[in-house]
Amino acid sequence: MNTEKYQQGRVVHQPEYIDGLSVEIPILKILKQDGSLYEGAEMPVIDQEHALRIYKSLAFHRVLDERMIASQRQGRLSFYMAALGEEAASVGSAAALEDEDMIMAQYREQGALIYRGFSLENFMNQMFSNEKDLGKGRQMPIHYGSSELHYMTISSPLCTQVPQAAGYAYGQKLKGKDNVTICYIGEGAASEGDFHAGLNMAAVHGAPVIFFCRNNGYAISTPSTEQYAGNGIASRGVGYDIKTIRVDGNDILAVLKVTQEARKYAVEEGKPVLIEAMSYRLGAHSTSDDPSGYRTKEEEAKYAEHDPILRMKNWMLAQSWWDEAQDNALVDQYREQVLAAVKVAEVIAKPPIEDLISDVYDVPTPALEQQLSDLKEHIKKYPEAYPVTAGRIK
């Protein structure tokens, strides 16, 4: 029993209470904003080719976010969520994984999917919920998923993926696979009961899962000071006996380093790891949010100086692996590609009406078939009221 283990600790005869900050949690930093390295910093495993793939993912991510926010403002898209300022956390951690490691995201981790190679067309088809969307147009924009790329389809309820990730990783381990599951969450989601459930299940059952918390200071309008009183999210990992580390989430090399080591540990030991990546949500929570109601421009400007993409670019330039002309050309190219893809995706037809009832079960029930049949008859009677489907019903 564990209780015996803890009774063997130091014995005292006057009460000694402990508090959250008595457990010191250092933060790993490798790369400075100017592109130079901290003295004595231990580098992740990275070469020029890998660095370029990472950097291109970051650059594409920024362009995608900027263009899609604009598209939403133009009324072409119903909804969008950017990850401005946090791109290094998702891209840097995904770059430490193997292709068959499962990724379970919250919703602000497009970076991991970009790094995995999700096509621009797939991004667009999901956002425009057209008939080529892998999700068949059923979920809101940015709820991506791809079984081929081992990226679990995102759902809106926060933190539900945390205990699922523990179960998924346990299944991988039981089948003898040398793979891990990475599970992303924000610091707000970490207040949900499923956070406790998932971390405890993973620790007790020995699941090779990397819990990756993006602590960006805000959950919509709620600052982290109103989210928790303790020493961030990392301090909780210790309580579950989960190997835990805090990292500068805007430092791509530090994020890559800790995730590479976490992956190795998780696979070799069959145990979970908790990574808390400190960052700042530079943009609005979503296109339905306006941060000016709860924080200052000065605060945003201060954190904008820690831009993770610029930091990596400075490093790339210092390595002579990249130059400004290449950078400008790349960004221009991405902007054109994204704009062109929007124009294609937004005119692709919506999914067929049959997709309204498919996949509720493996096979539609007789009741569902009846409901679809009744609906089709109704649409045929009032075609003007249902312009998306009326012309396509036979």
Contacts (CB under 8 A) with other proteins, residues 157-186: 157, 160, 162-172, 174-175, 181
- Answer yes or no whether residue 191 interacts with other proteins by CB under 8 A: no
Chain-centre distance for alpha carbon 73: 23
- Answer yes or no whether residue 205 interacts with other proteins by CB under 8 A: yes
Judged by CB under 8 A, the stretch of 82-90, 212-220, 284-292, 358-366 that binds other proteins is 358-366
- Answer yes or no whether residue 198 interacts with other proteins by CB under 8 A: yes
The one-letter amino acid code at 131 reads E
Give 204 or 301: the residue with its C-beta nearer to other proteins: 204
Beta strand 222-223 with 218-219 is: antiparallel
**Helix (H/G/I), strand (E/B), else coil: 302:** helix
Which of 133, 248, 276, 307 binds other proteins (CB under 8 A)? It is 133
Contact 61, 83 (CB under 8 A): yes
Count of residues binding other proteins (CB under 8 A)? 47
For the CB of residue 373, give the shortest distance to other proteins in the complex, in Å: 15
- Answer yes or no whether residue 236 interacts with other proteins by CB under 8 A: no
d(CA 345, CA 126): 9
Contacts (CB under 8 A) with other proteins, residues 365-384: 365-367
Q: Which residues are catalytic?
A: 281, 285, 294
Give 147 or 225: the residue with its C-beta nearer to other proteins: 147
DSSP 331-363: HHHHHHHHHHHHHHHTTSPPPPGGGGTTTSSSS
The C-alpha angle 327, 330, 335, rounded to 5 degrees, equals 125
- Answer yes or no whether residue 193 interacts with other proteins by CB under 8 A: yes
Burial letters 156-188, b for 16+ CB under 10 A, else e = eebbbbbbbbbbbbbebbeeeeebbbbbbbbbb
Judged by CB under 8 A, the stretch of 5-13, 44-52, 128-136, 275-283 that binds other proteins is 128-136
Kindly state the helix (H) or strand (E) to which residue 244 belongs, with its residue range.
Answer: strand 243-248
Give 300 or 355: the residue with its C-beta nearer to other proteins: 355
- Answer yes or no whether residue 361 interacts with other proteins by CB under 8 A: yes
- Answer yes or no whether residue 225 interacts with other proteins by CB under 8 A: no
- Answer yes or no whether residue 147 interacts with other proteins by CB under 8 A: yes
Which of 23, 25, 52, 197 binds other proteins (CB under 8 A)? It is 197
Report the candidate in 84, 53, 68 with the shortest Cα–Cα distance to residue 123: 68
- Answer yes or no whether residue 155 interacts with other proteins by CB under 8 A: yes
- Answer yes or no whether residue 153 interacts with other proteins by CB under 8 A: yes
Q: What sign for the dihedral angle of Cα 317, 276, 68, 352?
A: positive
d(CA 274, CA 183): 10
Q: How far is the CA of 353 from the CAs of 42, 57, 292, 349, in angstroms?
A: 55, 36, 41, 11
Binding site residues, other proteins, CB under 8 A: 102, 133-136, 138-139, 143, 145-147, 152-153, 155, 157, 160, 162-172, 174-175, 181, 193-194, 196-198, 200-201, 204-205, 358-362, 365-367
